Amino acid sequence: MDLNDLIAQEAIIPALKVNSKKQLLQIMADKASVISGLPEREVFETILQREKLGTTGVGNGIAIPHGKLPDLEKIIGIFARLEHSVDFEALDDQPVDLVFLLLAPESAGADHLKALSRVARLLREPEMVNKLRNTYEVEALYSLLIQNPGL
């Protein structure tokens, strides 16, 4: 599964200014709402419920919030690079500055897990993470995210 199947250029937020995890998730839910056509509140509640099960802050300043929605037609991703790190209750207690929101249809099954795995693999690459942290333009961030189809 390639990331260009999951994310569109308009789903990238290159320099997001937020003060909290909740504000971050609200803004990302709003962006997902615009892209998916689903109500922002439904998206927000879905990712908030998932966070209550355990943090999606995976460490090294990275979070991969995710959830399943019944009316979603296909898996979508939203990527945000934060101007300033925020506390995300991450596994390593480090603040988060790179966030990849992944939403899937309830019926996605294994495809949802494949997409999560693909995103996690990409964001485990130290060189990739460094490039994402030091890139400020939407087009350049998009190119970085989709350039590694075999990863």
Residue 135, SS3 per DSSP: coil
Is residue 66 annotated as part of the catalytic site, yes or no?
Answer: yes
**Distance separating alpha carbons of residues 124 and 45, to the nearest angstrom:** 27
Asked if 38 and 69 touch (Cβ cutoff 8 Å), the reply is: yes
CB neighbour list of residue 32: distance below 8 Å, 6 or more residues apart: 11, 38, 40, 43, 76, 78, 101, 103
From the list 66, 81, 112, 118, the catalytic residue is: 66
Angle, to 10 degrees, between the axis of helix 40-53 and the axis of helix 21-36? 130
The residues annotated as belonging to the active site are 66
